Homo-oligomer: A and B are copies of this chain.
Amino acid sequence: MTLEFTQRATGGDSPFALPGSPVPYFLEAGEGERAHLFDQLFTVLLSGDETEGQFGVFTMEAPRGEAIPVHSHADVHEIFYVLDGKVRVIIEDLDGTRHDKVLATGDFGYVPAGRKHSFRVESHRARTLGVNTGGFERFFAAAGERTEARMPPVVPLIPSREQLGAAAQEFRNEFHHGVHLHD
């Protein structure tokens, strides 16, 4: 069910490559629903459709770059697990306390629902694994663009204000313009 599954699914009418229901499957490294957004390659390995809405899993790869805009999602818990490289994760707690740490390979960060957060790749390149409350994993494709590419974009994919706004609304992802958690 590995390669043939993915090839069949992506060749069909469905915009999604994943099974869409709780069935066993395998993916080889790089397989999944890939999307470009900003300077990042996202690959969704598992969605809320396979887990009765419980959780989704994705990987992210990006080069050293600018920080992702400060954002929050009221109903979505999210983790950062660093697979390779260094990523600064900044989280603002509900009382305004700021948690700021450069995570290296194997390090972990937890962003509970509703916390403003941001991150920035602080090494040549970095890869992270994310887990989120089921459903949110498809925000990246909605805000960016599905791709068959296996690398992050060379020219950053900057969505229009309209597209980013629509995706943010659909996935209840709030951008906090003017909030700078970074130095």
**Complex contact B24–A131 (CB within 8 A):** no
Closest Cβ–Cβ distance, residue A105 to chain B (whole Å): 7
Q: How far is the CA of A92 from the CA of B96 in the complex (A)?
A: 48
Identity of the chain B residue whose Cβ is nearest the Cβ of A92 in the assembled complex: B24
**Complex contact B110–A2 (CB within 8 A):** no
**Complex contact B51–A77 (CB within 8 A):** yes
**Complex contact A81–B45 (CB within 8 A):** yes
Q: A52-60, A63-71, A154-162: which one contacts chain B?
A: A52-60
Copy tally for this chain in the complex stands at 2
Interface centre among A32, A45, A105, by most chain B C-beta atoms within 10 angstroms, is: A45
- The reply on A141 being an interface residue by CB < 8 A is no
Chain B residues with CB under 8 Å of A26's CB are: 89, 99, 101, 103, 107-110
Identity of the chain B residue whose Cβ is nearest the Cβ of A117 in the assembled complex: B24
**Complex contact B55–A54 (CB within 8 A):** yes
Q: How far is the CA of A77 from the CA of B110 in the complex (A)?
A: 21
Chain B residues with CB under 8 Å of A103's CB are: 26
Given contacts A54-B133, A57-B81, contact A110 B46 (CB under 8 A): yes
Q: How far is the CA of A32 from the CA of B110 in the complex (A)?
A: 12
Cross-chain contact of A77 among B22, B77, B83 (Cβ < 8 A) = B22
Given contacts A1-B99, A22-B113, A51-B77, contact A29 B133 (CB under 8 A): no
Q: How far is the CA of A22 from the CA of B31 in the complex (A)?
A: 31
Q: How far is the CA of A112 from the CA of B107 in the complex (A)?
A: 27
The 18 listed contacts between A and B (C-beta, < 8 Å) are A1-B99, A23-B93, A23-B110, A24-B112, A24-B115, A26-B89, A26-B103, A27-B108, A27-B109, A28-B106, A29-B105, A29-B107, A45-B79, A46-B108, A46-B110, A51-B133, A55-B55, A57-B108
